[in-house]
Amino acid sequence: MLRCDKLLIQQGAFALRADFTVAAGKITALIGPSGAGKSTLLSAVAGFLDPDEGRVLWDETDITTTTPGDRPVSMLFQDNNLFPHLTVAQNVRLGLRPSLRIVKAETARINDVLEEVGLTGMAQRKPGALSGGQQSRAALARVLLADRPLVLLDEPFSALGPALKAEMLDLVRSKLAAVGRTVIMVTHDPADAMRIADAVILVSEGVAAAPVDTSALFDNPPPALAAYLGEDGLKPILRN
Ligand SMILES: Nc1ncnc2c1ncn2[C@@H]1O[C@H](COP(=O)(O)OP(=O)(O)OP(=O)(O)O)[C@@H](O)[C@H]1O
Q: How would DSSP label each residue in the chain? A: -EEEEEEEEEETTEEEEEEEEE-TTSEEEEE--TTSSHHHHHHHHHTSS--SEEEEEETTEE-TTS-GGGSSEEEEETTTT--TTS-HHHHHHTTT-S-----HHHHHHHHHHHHHTT-TT-TTS-GGGS-HHHHHHHHHHHHHHHT-SEEEEESTTTTS-HHHHHHHHHHIIIIIGGGT-EEEEE-S-HHHHHHH-SEEEEEETTEEPPPEEHHHHHHS--HHHHHHHHHHHHHHHHH-
Residue whose CA lies nearest to ligand 1 atom number 8? 11
Is 206 close to ligand 1, i.e. is its CB under 6 Å away?
no
- Best probe residue, ligand 1, of 40, 42, 154 (max atoms within 8 Å of C-beta): 40
> What was the pLDDT predicted at 237?
53
At residue 234, the pLDDT reads: 55
- Tally of CB atoms within 10 A around 21: 13
Residue nearest to atom 17 of ligand 1 (CA): 39
Residue 16: the pLDDT is: 98
Residues in the chain predicted with pLDDT less than 50, given as ranges, are 236, 239-240
Instruction: Give me the half-sphere count of Cα atoms (radius 13 Å) on the Cβ side of residue 113.
Output: 24
Ligand 1 in reach of 11 Cβ (< 6 A): yes
CB distance 48 to ligand 1 below 6 Å: no
Q: How far apart are CA 166 and CA 67, in angstroms?
A: 33
Ligand 1 centroid, distance to 207 Cα (angstroms): 13
**Residue-level pLDDT at 229:** 81
* Ligand 1 touching residue 39 (CB < 6 A): yes
State residue 221's pLDDT score.
87
Supply the pLDDT for residue 158. 87
Ligand 1 center from residue 135 Cα (angstroms)? 26
Determine how β-strand 2-11 pairs with β-strand 199-204: unpaired
Does 74 sit in the ligand 1 pocket, CB within 6 Å? no
Shortest-distance Cα residue to atom 31 of ligand 1:
35
The predicted-structure confidence for 61-101, as pLDDT tens digits, reads as follows 999 999 999 999 999 988 778 999 999 999 999 888 766 67
